[in-house]
Structure 1
Amino acid sequence: MITHWNDMTTSLQIFNTIKKFFIEIGELSYFAGRFFKEVFTKPFEFKELLRQCYNMGNRSLLLVSITGFILGLVFTLQSRPTLMEFGAESWMPSMVSISIIREIGPVIIALICAGKISSGIGAELGSMRVTEQIDAMEVSGTNPFKFLVVTRIMAATLMIPLLIIYGDAIALFGSSLIENLKGDVSFQLYFNKVFDAIKFSDIIPATIKSIFFGFAIGLVGSFKGYNCTNGTVGVGEASNSAVVYTSLLLFVIDFIAVFISDIFFEI
């Protein structure tokens, strides 16, 4: 009898978890639909959009620089011995550049930005929600969704691709530095081989999916913060869940992007 009761309790918990998950997916979809509705209606908050772009880009620049540089160093150091066994050191610039631009750079830098930007948006909007600042904006006749949410999602959508491109360049510089020190390859020769190897079919899919990465980072962070509850405890939960949900969503978007690009660009 006790075992049967425990099985029923476990099944009920699983059902409630799945139900909660699909409810949250529906709420997030409605939130995204509201964003697309508001983004094309006046008034347009250009000043706030520029301020958010500056904050997201400026505050993430150092972190992206360090991440990209170390990524290039480590990837080259780990790959070089294997290529040397086959006498294929000359393939290093091509292999590193294609790997970083296609996949490693966008995903790693987007995950870093998810931890930095998405959690920041969730904590900021969550704090405004629990301190009733958003409610005060609604009472005063201001559209808080337009001012707070739309600007942050647009800023993340615009800035994440730029940060990814910058991070890729820094990663390639780190890789070229290792090749210059260990393989006596000049920077000019290294980047000549890089640009010979890279095609538009490498750059276009990576750029398009980085735009979706930015949108996901801004959307989930804003959704969690804007709908924050349970006071100050809820602010921490919103910030933490924003990072977790965004990271999972990035992997899903990456899989879909790779699948589609494999069809259209024959990668």
Structure 2
Amino acid sequence: MRDPFTRLGSTLVTPTVRQAGFGVWLSGRTLALLPHLWRRRRSLLDQMYLAGVKSVHVVAFVAFFIGMIVALQIGLKLAEYGQQDSIGMLVAISMAREMAPFVTAVVLAASVASAMAAELGTMKVQDELTALEVMSIDAVSYLVLPRVLAMTLMAPILTAVADVVGIVGGGVIAVTQLQLDFPAYLLSVDEALRDPGLLGLPQDLYAGLIKSVVFGFMIAVVGCGSGMMAEKGAAGVARTTREAVRTSIILIIIFNYFLSWLLVA
């Protein structure tokens, strides 16, 4: 009979290590299959629509209120010192560097990653993945590659949308609560995003887009990997979906720290 610590380790540590190893393998396998992407172009377009177009309204809605919250919290404090003219600069930097990529990633984790995990998990428990293997069809190439690439491509586009909408939301607060003219607010935003980086993009915007690319790839790998490791039964699919969202959000926070550190350094 195993002692309680051994049982606890086998329950918590072993599945985590197994999932991490499978995620690393799946990431490498997906990257290795990129030269074969042309064969999956139709599926790629479908997944881009599902991951991007069907998520844009949610991302925009959340980003608008995030921009308003940032402007309200910072603006009221700046107004105490007569510095409310700088609110546009702070909102733009906050959205471009941190809030837009983070909020976009969380929305995608909650909606798209969970859908990927549920869909592939259902296919796993119904032996559809085994059927693909019997027909000599690579499940990673057929199912995972278009989903991962679609998320990787659409995440920065959605982040750019979140940047714009969040800045507009901050402008609403600046005009209605801080009595700041909208042209003056936009001038402050322009001053914040004037420093050009690679490809002529503002440095802060460039940093946020890099984060979103990493987040998109990671979220899709977690969602697909969790689905492909689903256990039998409806309870297994439900548990897989829950773990995909939880793992994605945890990794978003961890990767956000390290990416922020690298980009600032």
| TM-score normalised by L of structure 1 | 0.90
Partner of 1:209: 211
For residue 241 of structure 1, report the CA deviation from its aligned partner: 0.4
Partner of 1:71: 66
Partner of 1:257: 259
Establish whether residue 15 from structure 1 lines up as the match of residue 17 from structure 2.
Answer: no
Partner of 2:46: 51
Identity of aligned residues (%): 26
Conservation of the 8 A alpha-carbon contact between 2:121 and 2:227: yes
For residue 43 of structure 1, report the CA deviation from its aligned partner: 5.7
Partner of 1:173: 168
Alpha-carbon distance in structure 1 between the residues aligned to 2:91 and 2:53: 27
Alpha-carbon distance in structure 2 between the residues aligned to 1:36 and 1:78: 42
For residue 189 of structure 1, report the CA deviation from its aligned partner: 2.5
Alpha-carbon distance in structure 1 between the residues aligned to 2:230 and 2:189: 46
Alpha-carbon distance in structure 2 between the residues aligned to 1:143 and 1:135: 10
Alpha-carbon distance in structure 2 between the residues aligned to 1:245 and 1:93: 34
**Structure 1 gap segments, 5+ residues each:** none
Partner of 1:248: 250
For residue 256 of structure 1, report the CA deviation from its aligned partner: 1.1
| TM-score normalised by L of structure 2 | 0.91
Alpha-carbon distance in structure 2 between the residues aligned to 1:228 and 1:182: 50
Alpha-carbon distance in structure 1 between the residues aligned to 2:208 and 2:117: 26
When residues 137 and 18 of structure 1 are mapped into structure 2, their CA distance, relative to the original with a 3 A threshold, is closer
Please point out which of 28, 34, 45 is paired with 1:33: 28
**Structure 2 gap segments, 5+ residues each:** 196-201
When residues 220 and 96 of structure 1 are mapped into structure 2, their CA distance, relative to the original with a 3 A threshold, is same
Partner of 2:198: none
Please point out which of 128, 148, 151 is paired with 1:153: 148
Query: What SS is found at the alignment partner of 1:152?
Result: helix
For residue 14 of structure 1, report the CA deviation from its aligned partner: 4.0
What is the count of residue pairs matched by the alignment?
257
When residues 48 and 248 of structure 1 are mapped into structure 2, their CA distance, relative to the original with a 3 A threshold, is same
For residue 145 of structure 1, report the CA deviation from its aligned partner: 1.7
